[in-house]
Structure 1
Amino acid sequence: MNENDTFRQWFRDTRISAGLSQQKVADALKVEGFNLIQSQIAKIERGERPLRLDEAAAITRLFGTTLDIALGLKEGDPNSLAAQQLAGRTSTLQRIRSVIDAELGGAA
């Protein structure tokens, strides 16, 4: 199952568990500035309509959670967005340190 399928399944299951209709979700998203109607929510859940990132973020906020949780990623999971960002920053800092060490070593 890919991330799109995982999110769609989470969305549908969470909406049903919360006792919300597709129309209620569409109405709640309208308050957030998204002009979605019930049939679009149904298409999102079936994978017939692509979901924009800002829409996905708004949906997770609606249910009081985050995209990492909706995608089934756990805190500390190396695939989580936060872990990937941290790894990228660590790699960048290591490259900077290597350049500085090389310059200091060459000047000494």
Structure 2
Amino acid sequence: MDLETIVAQKIADMRASRKLTYQQLADLMRSEGVEIHPSAIQKSEKSGRQMKLSELMAITRIFGISIGDLLGENPIEVNKTYESTAYRVRELADELSNLLKILPRN
């Protein structure tokens, strides 16, 4: 199971266990400073919409859990995902730097 699916299932489970509607969770997230439509929460749970970091952080505050708890019980797998993403970001930054060197300057 991929990380997005794990997070989506945990959010759905926590929301359901507290008997919160999508609207109620959206209202709670707004109180945490995150503007989100209830349908965006539903899409995140059901259709694989990727949540923004600010949305995930609001979820952790609302449900009183850590980001690690939200990401799953396998920190090694989460770390591998983070490391591969960080590596790719470094590669892209290097490519951008090289491109900027060859672009004409105004």
TM-score scaled by length of structure 2: 0.66
Question: What is residue 5 of structure 1 aligned with on the other side?
Answer: 5
Question: What is residue 40 of structure 2 aligned with on the other side?
Answer: 40
Q: Deviations over 1:29-88 (max 9, x none)?
A: 1111111111111111113422111211111111000121122227xx55566xx9xxxx
The one-letter code of the counterpart of 2:14 is: T
Question: What is residue 28 of structure 2 aligned with on the other side?
Answer: 28
Mapped contact 1:73–1:79 kept (Cα < 8 A)? no
More helix by share: 2
Structure 2 segments unaligned to the other structure (5+ residues): 83-106
Question: What is residue 73 of structure 2 aligned with on the other side?
Answer: 73
The one-letter code of the counterpart of 2:40 is: Q
Between the aligned partners of 1:80 and 1:9, the Cα distance in structure 2 is: 16
RMSD of aligned C-alpha atoms?
2.2
Mapped contact 1:8–1:47 kept (Cα < 8 A)? no
Between the aligned partners of 2:66 and 2:56, the Cα distance in structure 1 is: 9
Q: Identity of aligned pairs, percent?
A: 32
Mapped contact 1:26–1:37 kept (Cα < 8 A)? yes
The residue correspondences of 1:82-93 to structure 2 (distance < 5 A) are: none
Question: What is residue 50 of structure 1 aligned with on the other side?
Answer: 50
Between the aligned partners of 1:34 and 1:18, the Cα distance in structure 2 is: 20
Q: Which has the larger radius of gyration?
A: 1
TM-score scaled by length of structure 1: 0.65
The one-letter code of the counterpart of 2:43 is: K
Highest relative contact order (Cα 8 Å, sep 6+), 1 or 2?
A: 2
| Off by >6 Å, runs of 4+ in structure 1 | none
Structure 1 segments unaligned to the other structure (5+ residues): 85-108
Mapped contact 2:3–2:71 kept (Cα < 8 A)? yes
